[in-house]
Amino acid sequence: FSFILIFHKWDVYTPMQWVGLNNFIRLFQDNLFWQAILNTLMFLFIHIPLQIIVALFFAVLLNQKIRARGFFRAAYFMPVIISGVVVSILWQQMFSQETGVLNSLLSVINIPKVPWLNSPEWAMPSIAIMATWKNVGFYIVLFLAGLQTIPGYLYESADIDGATDWQKFRWITLPMINSTMLLVMILSTIGGFSLFIEPYILTGGGPMNSTLSAMLYIYKQAFYFNRMGYAATLGFFFAFMILVVVLVQRKVVEQEY
C-alpha cells in the first residue's frame, strides 16, 4: 500500500489522486528534507564514536574483578529497558537552561549556563549525549561478550614481557574485539538513522530545524500535514539510503574477514 501511495496524492479524507513521479520531483527539491538528512548524519557523527568509546571504557572496567560487578552491570543496562519517552522527559528536565541539574552543576564552578536545547549549536550534541546514555548499556554487554572471548594467556605473556596496561589494550584487546567493534558500529548506525523519539520529545525538531531528523520529518509530513503519498515517498527513499549504508558496512566486514 505504501508503494502505491508513492505515485498518489492522498490526505486520508479524500480519494487518492494519481500524480506519477511528482512526489519524487518534490523530494529532490525539498531543502528541508535534505537538511533533516544532514541533521541525522551529524547525529551519527557525534553519537557513534561517543557510543563506542563510552561502552568500551565501561566494558573494560566491568570485565575486571571489582566489588559489586554484577550490580554495576545491571545498573548500566537499566536505561536500555526504560521507555524512550520516559528517558527523554527526564533529560528534558536535566537540560533545562534555568533549573536543570547540568547547568546547576556548571554554576557551582562558575561556568555560564549552557542553552542545551535552545541553541542550534548545542541541541543536536545534547540529543546525542542523551541517546548515548540511553543505549550504552546494550553495547557494554556486546563488548563484554567480546572481551570474555580473549584468551587469558595472551595477557600473561604480555605481563612476562613487561607490557604496560596501555600496550596490552592497544595490541591485544583492540585487535581481538575487532569483530565486536564492527558489530557495534553497524547497530549504532542503524539505530541512529531511526532517531525519532528524542527530538520529538525534547525539541520538536527545533530550534530552527537543527534537530529535525529524517524520521521526524517523515512523521510530520504524514500525520501533521496528511501528505501520505509524499511521506511514503520519503520513507522509501530513506529506507534505500539505509540499505546502501548497511551494504557498504557489510562489504567492509567481508573484506576484513
Task: Give residue-wise pLDDT tens across range 170-227.
Answer: 999 988 998 888 888 888 888 899 999 999 999 999 999 999 999 999 999 999 999 9
pLDDT of residue 256: 57
What is the DSSP track for the chain?
Answer: -HHHHTTEE--SSS--EE-TTHHHHHHHT-HHHHHHHHHHHHHHHHHHHHHHHHHHHHHHHHTS--TTHHHHHHHHHHHHHS-HHHHHHHHHHHT-TTT-HHHHHHHHTTPPPP-TTTSHHHHHHHHHHHHHHHHHHHHHHHHHHHHTTS-HHHHHHHHHTT--HHHHIIIIIHHHTHHHHHHHHHHHHHHHHT--HHHHHHTTT-STTTT--HHHHHHHHHHTS--HHHHHHHHHHHHHHHHHHHHHHHHHHHHH-
Cell digits for 70?
554484577
Digit-by-digit pLDDT tens for the chain (257 residues) are 999 999 999 998 999 999 999 999 999 999 999 999 999 999 999 999 999 999 999 999 998 888 888 888 888 899 999 998 999 999 999 999 888 999 999 999 998 999 999 999 999 999 999 999 999 999 999 999 999 999 989 989 998 989 898 999 999 998 899 888 888 888 888 889 999 999 999 999 999 999 999 999 999 999 999 999 999 999 999 999 988 987 887 777 666 54
Count the Cβ atoms, other than its own, within 10 Å of residue 139: 26
d(CA 76, CA 135): 9
pLDDT of residue 99: 87
